[in-house]
Amino acid sequence: MKARIILKWIGISVGAIVGLALLGVATVYLMIGRDLSRTFDVALTEISVPGGLTSTTEGQRLARLRGCLGCHGEKGTGQVFFEVPDGTKLVAPDLALAAHKYSAAELERIIRHGVRPDGTSVVLVMPSEMLYHLSDEDVGSIIRFLQTLTPGEEPLPETYFGPVARLMLLGFKQETDTILAAELINHDQARLDPSSSNLEGFGKYIAMTTCTECHEQDLGGSSDGSFPPLTIVAAYSLEDFTTLLRTGTPIGDRELDLMAEVAVSRFSNFTDLEIAALHAFLKTLGHSS
């Protein structure tokens, strides 16, 4: 009799624990779902899209430099970026299809504001906070390039976040306060001017639209130490810095992992002027103004 009573209460306790766990999962699922469905009222901005081969070639260079073709595939036709067995799929959309489907103004809002045509925000995987400062001219060239691409033959699945992924997103939100790219951006702030005749001013434009994805908005490096503060550039001559960006080889010939990969696939597309400007600006970091 006592054994049956004990087993009964064990069963009740286990059931209660399972019920609470399911309730917790359901709560997290709904909380993250509420975030993902949140909309942002960001006005459309008309963008002039240039024509011609020169603009297309420059747009391809800029798209490669800013990592568009790294996440969305070499042909820009998208890919499943991340999967979890609970059904989660994080999909980098087909840029070629988007460029044929959306207006230039809608594409600009996705790129620089992280806001989709339906008003919802892309998640933080999309570095819109970095791309916000891209000039109208650079955005126009990128859109021109995307419009020349051919959409993929097979449709991609929709992005979906299952229970496990939503728990992961909740943990990420507790560290960053948001999972939405649009929420990080001051959508009314003035953009940097890349046309400045000042080399350091141009370098700041390059840094803020290229380096902040990993090294944070203040270029002070990541809090976990994975990415160093860019004050380290003070130790580099222009020649050494050029070698780092073109080959991923730092001074001392140390072996780098991610930086080496990014240098070859992306930063090797920098022009000599861009590298010189970026070097000039980064050398000023840490100096009192």
CA quadruple 270, 274, 276, 281: dihedral positive or negative?
Answer: negative
At 236, which amino acid appears?
Y
Closest CA to 75 of 94, 56, 100: 94
**What pLDDT digit, counting tens, does each position of 145-196 carry?**
999 999 999 899 999 888 888 888 887 787 788 888 999 999 999 999 887 6
**What pLDDT digit, counting tens, does each position of 85-120 carry?**
888 898 999 999 999 999 999 999 999 999 999 999
Number of domains in the chain: 2
Q: Are residues 186 and 207 in the same domain?
A: no
What pLDDT is attached to residue 194?
87
Q: Are residues 118 and 186 in the same domain?
A: yes
Q: Are residues 203 and 125 in the same domain?
A: no
Among 162, 191, 220, identify where a domain stops.
191
The residues, ordered by sequence, that sit 6+ positions from 150 with a Cβ below 8 Å of its Cβ are 75, 77, 96
171 domain residue, yes or no = yes
13 domain residue, yes or no = yes
Average pLDDT over all residues of the chain: 86
Domain that holds residue 243: 199-282
Q: What residue has token string 């090294």? A: 215
Using CA atoms, how far residue 133 sits from 17, 89, 141, 180, 181, in Å, is 49, 29, 15, 18, 14
Among 173, 191, 209, identify where a domain stops.
191
Q: Are residues 33 and 139 in the same domain?
A: yes
